[in-house]
């Protein structure tokens, strides 16, 4: 079994602190990279330039993940395949990681020492429970609906700042409920709360006599198990995102992402993407934020570790608290037995297990595009480009050359994201800052695989909280920096609007 350990802290000896007021100096500490040559940089610039020819598909366009692209399946396993270029030996590691991703954790103490440590408060007993079939979650559809993958982040204003990170907005966890609401608990403990949603409908008039209806959610927490929330609590509902292509997004060079940022809108196009910078819990240095709906984590491994801790209550070397997200006010939770053992690096999942889960998550393959030469799809692509959607949804990137990750090394990929934060307007605002992100900003989500959501997840709920019931509704929720682009979609001829959606469904 190959062990996929990331850099240890000892490898960082001798590295100077990163001055974060100069974002260009940020390093990809989680990757073993090979520097690009000037010839490669020129080739990459040519390969990633946006097309102006919409009469036919571009070369390699069907292979959204480069050589890692997988064939399209017409069933719910479409997002659960290993990278198309993975070796036999590494596919075995992928399968072991899948087993850990699907494993049901149990409470401590237990005779199953490799599986105990659940909670005591938690959102799910396994990673797969939220990322069903490695796809998107959805909000509850009825009051007693437990088959969902939604959680509620909570925080309050204030707290110590992170002086090294320019633009960081200081917040604190809720003093009683921590950083997120856990709606389940092990025996003998009370769950924290349940999420309740009510919707109001708004009809939007479109061109050519068409209409659309948007549902606006209002959130509440019921059955509070530990008393009232803080008076100034800020809440943000989230559904679990799809898991495909994460290792490729992890391998996009930081310098390439920062080159797309325009925080002061210097070019006057109304788009002012900003880099999220976070303090890495693994490396103890600022890094580019990539993962999470506001890009709050810098790598797949750190995102996986945070999910183990916050969502399942499983301690690990990066987030070692045995009680997970429990606060000091939750004394019974803090004093409960835990599953920390020496054979698991004095945690409930050891580094080898964490590395395998991160490897699995990094190598979930992106399915090939469908219908790339279809005339309506090509017309929709032209509408997408000419409307300006690519200002945030950057079509193409080329990943780092990597010494130990052949599946992600030097691939031309088509994720349709710039990985930056954008102001999406008041309609989508959660009014809860996270790191550099304001309460109106979200990271541009990748679009690859979006057309297979129904196939994999059995629904078509989109955006951060699943409020949009279709791709058209998701587009119509755009505001802020995307307001003019949304209005262009509202006003364009109905056939162009239909072609735009058809293009998105082909991704």
For residue 181, what are its two tokens?
A: 């609401």
Q: Per residue in 92-115, pLDDT tens? A: 999 999 999 999 999 999 988 789
pLDDT band at 6 (very low <50, low <70, confident <90, very high): very low
Tally of CB atoms within 10 A around 138: 23
CA dist., res. 28 & res. 399, Å (int): 12
- Residue 499 near residue 379 (C-beta atoms within 8 A): yes
CA dist., res. 104 & res. 314, Å (int): 12
As a whole number, mean pLDDT of residues 294-305 equals: 98
Look-up of token digits 């606060």: 327
Q: Per residue in 348-390, pLDDT tens? A: 999 999 999 999 999 999 999 999 999 999 999 999 999 999 9
CA dist., res. 117 & res. 308, Å (int): 11
* pLDDT at residue number 258: 97
* pLDDT at residue number 17: 33
As a whole number, mean pLDDT of residues 254-275 equals: 96
Q: Per residue in 51-104, pLDDT tens? A: 999 999 999 999 999 999 999 999 999 999 999 999 999 999 999 999 999 999
For residue 244, what are its two tokens?
A: 């495909």
Q: Per residue in 204-221, pLDDT tens? A: 999 999 999 999 999 999
**Does residue 109 have a cis bond before it (omega within 30 degrees)?**
yes
CA dist., res. 255 & res. 106, Å (int): 42
* pLDDT at residue number 295: 98
* pLDDT at residue number 114: 85
Counting DSSP H helices and E strands in the chain, the numbers are: 13, 16
**Rounded to a whole number, what is the distance in angstroms from the first to the last CA of the chain?**
35
As a whole number, mean pLDDT of residues 335-341 equals: 95
For residue 38, what are its two tokens?
A: 């000037």
Tell me the percentage of the chain whose pLDDT exceeds 90.
Answer: 90
């Amino acid at each position: 079994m190959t062990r996929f350990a990331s850099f240890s802290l000892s490898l960082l000896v001798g590295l100077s602190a990163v001055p974060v007021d100069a974002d260009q100096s940020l390093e990809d500490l989680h990757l073993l990279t090979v520097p690009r040559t000037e010839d490669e940089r020129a080739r990459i610039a040519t390969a990633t330039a946006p097309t102006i020819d919409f009469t036919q598909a571009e070369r390699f366009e069907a292979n959204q993940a480069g050589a890692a692209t997988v064939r399209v399946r017409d069933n719910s396993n479409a997002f659960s395949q290993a990278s198309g270029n993975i070796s036999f030996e590494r596919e075995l590691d992928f399968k072991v990681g899948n087993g850990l991703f699907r494993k049901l954790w149990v409470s401590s103490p237990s005779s199953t020492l490799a599986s105990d440590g659940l909670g005591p408060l938690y959102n799910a007993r396994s990673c797969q429970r939220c990322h069903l079939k490695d796809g998107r979650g959805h909000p509850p559809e009825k009051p007693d609906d437990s088959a969902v993958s939604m959680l509620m982040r909570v925080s309050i204003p204030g707290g110590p700042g992170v002086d090294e990170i320019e633009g960081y907005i200081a917040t604190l966890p809720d003093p009683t409920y921590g950083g997120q609401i856990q709606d389940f608990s092990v025996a003998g403990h009370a769950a924290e709360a349940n999420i309740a949603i009510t919707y109001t409908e708004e009809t939007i008039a479109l061109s050519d006599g068409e209409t659309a209806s948007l549902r606006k959610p209002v959130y509440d927490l019921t059955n509070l198990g530990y008393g009232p929330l803080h008076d100034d609590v800020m809440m943000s509902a989230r559904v679990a995102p799809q898991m495909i292509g994460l290792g490729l997004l992890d391998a996009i060079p930081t310098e390439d992402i920062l080159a797309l940022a325009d925080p002061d809108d210097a070019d006057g196009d109304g788009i002012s993407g900003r880099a999220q910078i976070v303090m890495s819990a693994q490396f103890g240095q600022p890094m580019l934020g990539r993962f999470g709906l506001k890009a709050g984590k810098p790598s797949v491994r750190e995102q996986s570790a945070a999910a183990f801790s916050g969502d399942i209550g499983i301690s690990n070397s990066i987030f070692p608290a045995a009680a997970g997200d429990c606060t000091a006010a939750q004394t019974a939770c803090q004093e409960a037995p835990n599953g920390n053992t020496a054979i698991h690096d004095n945690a409930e999942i050891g580094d080898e297990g964490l590395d395998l889960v991160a490897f699995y998550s990094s190598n979930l393959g992106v399915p090939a595009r469908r219908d790339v030469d279809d005339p309506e799809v090509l017309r929709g692509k032209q509408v997408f480009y000419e409307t300006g959607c690519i200002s945030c949804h950057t079509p193409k990137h080329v990943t780092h050359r990597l010494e130990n990750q052949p599946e992600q090394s030097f691939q031309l990929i088509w994720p349709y994201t710039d990985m930056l934060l954008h102001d999406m307007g008041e309609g989508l605002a959660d009014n809860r800052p996270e790191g550099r992100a304001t309460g109106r900003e979200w990271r541009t989500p990748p679009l690859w695989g979006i057309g297979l959501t129904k196939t994999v997840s059995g629904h078509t709920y989109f955006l951060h909280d699943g409020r949009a019931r279709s791709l058209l509704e998701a587009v119509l929720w755009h505001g802020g920096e995307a307001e003019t682009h949304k209005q262009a979609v509202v006003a364009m001829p109905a056939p162009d609007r239909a072609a735009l959606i058809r293009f998105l469904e082909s991704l």
